[in-house]
Amino acid sequence: MAPGIFLKLLRTEFPENVIHLCAIHTDSRLPEKYILAKDGKQWFIGPDNGFLPIGLTEEATYYKLPELPYGKDPMFHCFVPVLQTLMENHFSTESFEAEEKPRKYLFPTPTVTGNVWRLMVVYNDAEGNAYLNMDKSEFEKFTSNRSFRIRLGLKDNIEQISASYRDVQEGNKLALFGYGNLLQIAIHCGSAEQYLGLKYGTMVMLEISESSILNSA
């Protein structure tokens, strides 16, 4: 899951007409199945192990690639030949068979009880920022002009979304939407993973008020 989220966070930072060679070691002694994907005007070549659908949009299309025997170098025997075929055919997909059912990883979805959403840390980046399994569109839909608090502990809450790390003083915690538009818990010049204990798998509660901000005012 981590490579898929890493791809989701950074994919939109690349320009159009980029081909991503996703050389991910799966540590399998079985024949490797690889897949070609197109999402918008970007191409992706990588193992068909479920990580690509995490990082790409629902509009992505997928194409089958031959299985690679164990021990064969994927860069030499898969990535480069597919890249060469794409370029020789001016990026036409006629040489590839469509893959209707790419393998998908079961990405954890939030659960709700009453007005409390149960979220999970699904990724920590190199700086220790914690990414939760809720994106900006979902958050705005569920909060819908209502006040909220993100509960990190019994007395440790965040009640607003910041635009950047500079919105708080160094050492203070904040919530924001950054790369990939995933809800992120961070510490300005610090590590939320280390100082708040927000490691992969940690549960975080999002409590939404039943009344709107305008009504409460």
DSSP, residue by residue, 66-94:
--B-TTS-HIIIIIHHHHHHHHHTTT--T
pTM of the entire structure?
A: 0.82
Closest CA to 57 of 109, 122, 12: 12
The whole-number pLDDT of residue 133 equals 94
Q: Percent of the chain having pLDDT more than 70?
A: 93
When the pLDDT of each residue in the chain is averaged and rounded to a whole number, the result is: 89
Alpha carbons 167 and 180: distance in angstroms, whole number: 20
Question: CATH says 111-216 is which class?
Answer: mainly beta
The whole-number pLDDT of residue 216 equals 45
pLDDT at position 149 over 70:
yes
Split at pLDDT 50, 70, 90, the class of 73 is confident
The whole-number pLDDT of residue 67 equals 84
* pLDDT tens digit sequence for 90-99: 888 888 999 9
Contact between residue 121 and residue 199 where contact means Cβ atoms under 8 Å apart: yes
Tell which wins on pLDDT, 185 or 28: 185
The whole-number pLDDT of residue 125 equals 94
Residue with tokens 């860069």: 75
Domain extents in the chain: 2-88, 111-216
Mean pLDDT of 114-142: 94
Q: Which of 10-14, 118-122, 167-171 has the lowest mean pLDDT?
A: 10-14
The whole-number pLDDT of residue 75 equals 87
Tell which wins on pLDDT, 180 or 71: 180
The whole-number pLDDT of residue 26 equals 63
Any bridge partners for residue 117, and if so which? 112, 206
Tell which wins on pLDDT, 75 or 24: 75
Closest CA to 46 of 21, 25, 67: 21
